[in-house]
Structure 1
Amino acid sequence: MKAKRINHIAIAVNDLDAAVETFTKDFGLTLIREATNGPGTLGMAFLEVGDTVLQLVTPIGPGPVRDFLDTKGEGLHHICFDVESLKEATETHPGGPIDKGGLGGQVSFLKESVHGAVIELSAPLPEEG
């Protein structure tokens, strides 16, 4: 597997609106999209910073981000790398289920952390033929 670039860096926050305000006003980032995940357990805001994205995530219900905030508090949640193929990338580092990403494409979280960091991989949707 070879990562092509950092797709986004995610920070878990308790108050999404307050975090968006902080990063837009204090750091000049531009809000490009707000969304919820498929199951509706996670609120997300995507902010543009140069050629990458800062993703702010907050729990709407129970799940991994709620658990993260309850045990660790706010902070760096994960780093997402773009790869050519999730299938090839997860042959070396097994990943969880492949889902639709908040910015399009498909994503998978590695099942094991890498040196303590949670890693998400992102790849384009396969072309339909």
Structure 2
Amino acid sequence: MNHKGLDHFAIAVADTEAALKTWRDTMGFPVLYSEVVNDGAVRLTHLDLGNTHLQLVEPLVEGHPLHKWIADHGGAGLHHVCLKVDDVEEAMKESPVPTAPKPHEGTKGKKAVFLDANATDGCIWELTGK
């Protein structure tokens, strides 16, 4: 799998506005953009860290798996690390570990797919690209 470096790392949050008080207001990371994706299921807010992005991921629909993840982890926390690839579907075929069966909608209209965390020592990795 040929990756092009780090795209972002993501923190799962219950409330984006509350999280921005820490990451934008206290830490000083400027907000680049915020959008709702996957048919209104999640809000993705990207902050500029200079050489990469911090992505705040807020579940917006009842029953979304991130609500359980946040509860199981005692609140907001590092959810995943995302690598850039040229083509997500090609990267899925070349991946040395299993991926989700199909890509999902990422930021700015890009495709994204998660790697199987069981194959990566329990760490959640995502790939994003066209």
Runs (4+) of structure 1 exceeding 6 A deviation are none
Shift of 1:17: 0.1
1:94 aligns with 98
- Where structure 2 has 5 or more consecutive residues not aligned to the other structure, the ranges are none
Shift of 1:53: 0.5
Aligned residues: CA RMSD: 1.6
Q: TM-score, normalised by structure 1?
A: 0.85
Which structure shows the higher helix fraction?
2
Is this contact kept in 1: 2:89–2:103, CA < 8 A?
Answer: no
- Where structure 1 has 5 or more consecutive residues not aligned to the other structure, the ranges are 125-129
1:11-22 residue pairs with structure 2 within 5 A? 11-22=11-22
Q: Which digits, 9 at most, give the CA deviation of each residue in 1:15-51, with x for residues without a partner?
A: 2101112111211111011111222121221101112
Q: TM-score, normalised by structure 2?
A: 0.85
Q: Which digits, 9 at most, give the CA deviation of each residue in 1:50-82, with x for residues without a partner?
A: 121000111212222112012113200011001
Give aligned-pair identity as a percent.
31
Tell me the matched-pair count: 124
